[in-house]
């Protein structure tokens, strides 16, 4: 398999094309603009359509149309732009339409800063729009994983008729790393009975997220809830790294997790028994991974996040259910947490009796 040295954003875009994405609408924003830039050239090569919308809102609404027509469709943005798209993402969920939304997250509220951040955790996992719906949210820690998860995201979306979020951050999007690109997909879902693709010779179809029949709507909400439960049983993905003998476990996803791994290798050289749980699906969150820990051994769990305050730590606390103390080490404002800082934070905890 040939390895290509690629920028994360371009690799995500290429993976989408290979997954069968044939419609993209987006609007530029740092640090994800290479995704639309790449697709301007690439999508026409495969008979797809690229549109730079007049805004983020227009772009996601175009994706709604493409998805309703049965086309694999994607949009991408970064934190402030995702805020603008949430109405459309909610419509996708309410209208049961599959689509992939890429969030190459940056830091801070409002316009914030263009630098990387993990501040979009709650948006991706708790409220990607109004209405209390959920999505599968995938969080890559390497460019290769960004490729693999983008490639799979379209299948999840089609399976569930629900939007899927790829939650990257500005480091993953902006860095270059070697990847092996997957073969272009050739097997796609059959023409489905909900596609709005011309009604000559058949009854016209209507797709909308508004249902005046509240009995039907309540049943739809119950079906969605059951689907979210199923995700917890069947789709949770996470990596365990050196957790077997660990008396301190770091919880981190995405860029923070790869930094934490370097820190753990250094700590292990000095004899500290430290491990890592890395959620790959941040939604559904891998609560189960924390049930597998031996709490007679694990003295502390440290969430490492590039966001102030820490957000994922709330899910970690929920998973740990007070079986051991949980705290967080954070960097914000676009500063990328360094291995030295993680080593320091762990040693600090240990010196305070947090772990042996």
Partner 1 sequence: MENSLIIAGFGGQGVILIGQLLGYSATAAGKNATFFPSYGAEQRGGTANCTVVIADEAIGSPVVTRLDTVIAMNEPSLAKFESWVKPGGTIIVNSSLVHKKVARSDVRALYIPANELAEQLGSEKSANMVILGSYLGASQALAVEPVIETMRVKMASKAKFLPLNEAAIRAGKELAESQCAAGKGAQG
- When the beta carbons of 21 and 146 are compared against partner 1, the nearer one is 146
Minimum distance, C-beta of residue 30 to partner 1, in the bound complex (Å): 9
Minimum distance, C-beta of residue 258 to partner 1, in the bound complex (Å): 5
- When the beta carbons of 4 and 161 are compared against partner 1, the nearer one is 4
- When the beta carbons of 163 and 174 are compared against partner 1, the nearer one is 174
- When the beta carbons of 53 and 339 are compared against partner 1, the nearer one is 339
* Locus of tokens 């997220």: 209
Q: What is the DSSP string of 177-239?
A: EEE-PPPPP---PPPPTT--S--TTS------S--S-HHHHHHHHHHHHHHHHHHHHHT--EE
Interface residue list for partner 1 (CB under 8 A): 3-5, 171, 174-178, 255, 258-263, 265, 336, 338-340
Minimum distance, C-beta of residue 302 to partner 1, in the bound complex (Å): 16
Cβ burial of 206 (10 Å; 0-12, 13-18, 19+) is exposed
Minimum distance, C-beta of residue 264 to partner 1, in the bound complex (Å): 9
- When the beta carbons of 325 and 334 are compared against partner 1, the nearer one is 334
Minimum distance, C-beta of residue 328 to partner 1, in the bound complex (Å): 18
Backbone angles phi, psi at 64, to 5 degrees: -60, -45
State the DSSP code for 277: E
Backbone angles phi, psi at 309, to 5 degrees: -75, 165
Asked if residue 284 has a cis previous peptide bond (ω within 30° of 0), the answer is: yes
Q: What is the DSSP string of 55-67?
A: SHHHHHHHHHHHH
Determine contact, residues 170/115, Cβ cutoff 8 Å.
yes
- When the beta carbons of 97 and 172 are compared against partner 1, the nearer one is 172
Determine contact, residues 51/76, Cβ cutoff 8 Å.
no
- When the beta carbons of 137 and 179 are compared against partner 1, the nearer one is 179
Minimum distance, C-beta of residue 115 to partner 1, in the bound complex (Å): 9
Minimum distance, C-beta of residue 321 to partner 1, in the bound complex (Å): 30
Cβ neighbours, 10 Å, residue 200: 5
Name residues whose C-beta falls within 8 Å of residue 9's C-beta, 6 or more positions apart in sequence. Answer: 31, 32, 33, 34, 35, 38, 104, 173, 174
């Amino acid at each position: 398999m040939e390895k290509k040295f690629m920028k994360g954003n371009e690799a995500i875009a290429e993976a989408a094309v290979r997954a069968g994405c044939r419609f993209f609408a987006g609007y530029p924003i740092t640090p994800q603009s290479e995704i639309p830039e790449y697709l301007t050239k690439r999508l026409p090569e495969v008979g797809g359509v690229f549109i730079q919308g007049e805004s983020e809102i227009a772009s996601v609404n175009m994706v709604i149309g493409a998805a309703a027509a049965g086309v694999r469709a994607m949009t991408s943005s970064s934190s402030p732009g995702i805020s603008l798209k949430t109405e459309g993402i909610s419509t996708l969920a309410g209208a049961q339409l599959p689509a992939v939304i890429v969030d190459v997250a940056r830091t801070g509220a409002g316009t914030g800063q263009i630098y990387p951040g993990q501040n979009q955790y709650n948006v991706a996992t708790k409220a990607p729009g109004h209405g209390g719906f959920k999505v599968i949210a995938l969080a890559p820690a390497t460019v290769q994983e960004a490729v693999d998860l983008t490639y799979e995201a379209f299948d999840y979306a089609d399976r569930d008729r629900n939007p899927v979020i790829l939650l990257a951050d500005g480091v993953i999007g902006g860095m270059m790393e070697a990847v092996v690109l997957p073969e272009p997909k050739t097997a796609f879902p059959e023409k489905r009975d909900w596609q709005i693709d011309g009604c000559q010779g058949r009854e016209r179809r209507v797709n909308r997220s508004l249902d005046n029949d509240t009995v039907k709507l309540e049943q739809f909400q119950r079906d969605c809830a059951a689907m979210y439960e199923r995700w917890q049983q069947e789709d949770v993905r996470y990596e365990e790294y050196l957790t077997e003998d660990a008396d301190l476990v770091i919880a981190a996803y995405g860029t923070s997790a790869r930094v934490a791994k370097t820190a753990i290798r250094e700590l292990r050289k000095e004899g500290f028994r430290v491990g890592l749980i890395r959620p790959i699906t941040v939604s559904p969150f891998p609560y189960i991974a924390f049930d597998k820990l031996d709490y007679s051994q694990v003295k502390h769990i440290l969430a490492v996040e590039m966001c102030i305050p820490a957000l994922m730590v709330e899910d970690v606390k929920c998973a740990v259910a007070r079986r051991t103390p949980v705290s967080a080490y954070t960097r914000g404002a676009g500063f990328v947490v360094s291995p030295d800082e993680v080593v320091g934070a762990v040693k600090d905890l240990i010196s305070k009796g947090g772990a042996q």
